[in-house]
Amino acid sequence: AVVSTQSTGGEIENYPAPYENTTFWSKVESVTEPDATAKDIAIGFWSSGYYCGEEKHDDVCATGREFDGDNSLNELLNNAPASYFGHVLKFKESVTVAYMCSRNNN
C-alpha cells in the first residue's frame, strides 16, 4: 500500500500519516479514473486495491468494494490483492512529496 508520510519542521518522518494529516492526496488526480475523489484514491492505495474508495463507484474500480468500516481487510494486508494496478496520478501543481510503501513493512 502506498501512503503519505508525515512532515514535521521540514523533516520527513518515516511513518505513515493519517489521511486527515496529509496534503498529498488533495494535490493529485487520477488520470485513469477521473471520477475518483482524493479520498477514493487514498483508500485504494492504502488497501492495495482491496477497497475501491470511500463509496462505491462503478466507474472507479472493478471490485466494487467500498470502505464502510467493516474491517474485513487483514491488518497485514494478507487478503489484499498481490498486485494492484492502482491509479495513474497527475499532480495538480509542482510539489515535493514524501511517500512510502507499507506492504511487507511489518
Instruction: State pTM to two decimals.
Output: 0.73
State mean pLDDT over 82-92.
85
Task: Check pLDDT > 80 for residue 26.
Answer: yes
Strand pairing category for 11-16 and 2-8:
antiparallel
Collect all residues with Cβ–Cβ distance below 8 Å to 27 and sequence separation of at least 6. 91, 92, 93, 95, 97
* Burial of 60 per CB tally in 10 Å (0-12, 13-18, 19+): buried
